[in-house]
Structure 1
């Protein structure tokens, strides 16, 4: 279906360019009033259909408007084709092939610059959490309850299924949609694992991609010949590979790029490729968030090389991808951040007041070690040991999965953890510290430490501070690792020592030589000063003069609980007794004393006073 208007339209008053095109007559009644989501210039724009489809191209630049116009036109042609066919049912092989497209899309988008490996770990957890709602065997207690609607809603936060299908001219019946949604989500989990591996520097051949069959577009939109004369793109890349002899990993990657291009244009007849097809694909890649480097140096480079080889060997008369490239700058990155000091102080204060062992100790241990929350949540009593007078956490594979070989390490306990009474808590525990393995149901998919970590994240969200990966670039658990590194550098600790403590791989081969001794790590951790509870407020509050000099000094140094002290004074208790009450209340939080023991101690102090 060809759109009647093939050029951008310039608004006479604003000067902004628009796309305007007629909805095909045979679809007009069916689609009137329906809303469509289109990618324009890297943003999602919603279009309400009438006789026309009209959307702002978001630019006053004529050249950029032409590129965006071509991309929008291509998207709408795919939507019209899907609407004309109506919902279809896919076979299992076709569903897996489409899931493979999603896998390759994500891997190729971030292959060149995968960023922080921890971000991909968190993404896997989020997808796995959503997928758990599709498990019909869930008991609803130790695992997420069976609730496909909730699962569908949560997965929709991570990818747009309608946009994915629309880009391929597909409309599916409900059973096929549900099956594809789950397989796409799992493919994203696998892709995140691959990108996590890339982030660690392991770019060996991608074996995960081999599990997925190639996707064949169901519609031949232009009724093109099937090939067979050596003009099919897959035949061309095979011919190029025999001559060029690329590495297996490179060939796998290039095949994934060209498979994506075939899916985009809807056919694999290289004779019919047009320059405007390649330009529209380039724009779609940019709209989907690919970096300029990825588009120019990876995806377009692969297409240019294969088509160029075909021209040189007289399979094609011209290279449709020649001279197509991105000529604009890169986007600024969005690195994840650590907690601010006031945010950290708020969380640690809430943790100190919590009656739950999980909320009481997991945030404090993360804050004082920079360990991954999953490592903390899977600790066992036997993993807390004393060696050469140093109390430490021993992270080992026996307790649960670890990220990489460097994750197996010994991390000294911060003095603040010991002062808070963690060793007393340890005496009351056997086996895993923060969950009961006996409560795990046979066949459960999600590890219990992950469930504990998710609960901690939800608890942090309930504290009302601004956290969240999308809005605030602060993961409610992982932000502790960032803050720990910042506090460590502020204390003058070498990055190599911090990397050894947190289990990060050394950035250079030279820094991998030698080791960080336990006593070195212990001295380093002891130098790190954590944000105190008094920093939870954004303004400074000096203790009132009515507190008295001794009490004011105690409040300022956080030796006492100021709120308890003030309340005691208000009740008419003498200043010395009020100070004793406040000091013991502070100790109750730090040393794990029960309220009854605190009352006994207050009584003893009064009798002796």
Structure 2
């Protein structure tokens, strides 16, 4: 018999109104009954009619969700497993042991587990609900305990199954939801007891039969990362940063198996870094969270792992107080450029003196990243013919010389002021060599910390110490990129051309089409008027400019 009542039903004895509806036959195995009868909790007819429509909508939504699981299909897919009831309980025992292994020795505060147990009440059969932790139960659900367990524990149970690569047939999956709820309730009660100082063994722990899980092959994060490194080929500096964070992360967890990492482990790690580690939130977000998350995203896409515990984790970074723009002021820029023209110390190498002399000017007139300039070779500076017949000096910023952020080469036209100052004369003297360092002088180091990076670091230190620009609101080398864009924007240069010059990624696919020709770039960089011409004239004579 199917009851499809469109109005509240009044109980003949109590006078309380109910919602009643027959369960479609194909959903009865999931719901666990042939009819749902839900108390509306009122004897007032008007209230009952209003509540009735709300409950009816909820029931319809529940059943639509059940239908989307294709519950009517009795044939399991090729990868689905069918377990016996005994195996399902054994599997729930694995979940119980995971929780106890993680928290059993240090259970923390009892009220935390009491809250979890209260939340779990609705997912348990009435006979198994604890009288000490009775939740405010409302008969407002259209499904049985198994589906209620799926509602409450869905994410946790799916995470457990993903980690163990388990794909259960739908009937077994619903049974496992209920078994998992019972196992977790048992674990929570045991943790409450331990939090109150009672560490006697759980007398019911032996109720779980043997686990149906196949013992997995050993897995360690180092081997997984090596596969990632060979597949993705990240830059050496990126590898160094990622490895540093991963070593700390798994050292904190006390094991090396990436399959055992849970979302709770990740949250504990980030809390540790933010509090005990006393690390800035931005560093925690961009390193401690981002680097392991990158590895898991790759491993998940390659089917190396079956879960990503970092997926839903975020680190909130308070917006920093900004006291100034990140670019140099015109006065600061001129102070750096004036200092670059001073005679170098006799103790400096030719390459070191040249770096101090030319790189600030190259930064000012190109907006390039400092390490893109410190890696330049003499062969990267050359003349190129443009459509109107002119020959334009360009520098080729290429990953062949070291690294570029997007692994793509780009040409940048040289500002005519650099030519006037004698930069090309210096380049010609360095034929066949790097402009600002000698590879043969390398002492140790690694690909993650190359010589040209050291050149940039020394320049930044020189600006801080010798030039005296110590404001922490700017980066001594990166401030040129900001000032460069400001000059070109003031000169009405299109943003797409600016991006081509300073190496910013295009915002759209359309903007990635085409290129900025040397003549176009030259007109753009010439929007910057030559520096220092109105204050001093020491650029065309003497020794410093010819380095």
TM over 0.5: no
Q: Give the greater-gyration-radius structure (CA).
A: 2
**Normalization by structure 2: what TM-score?**
0.43
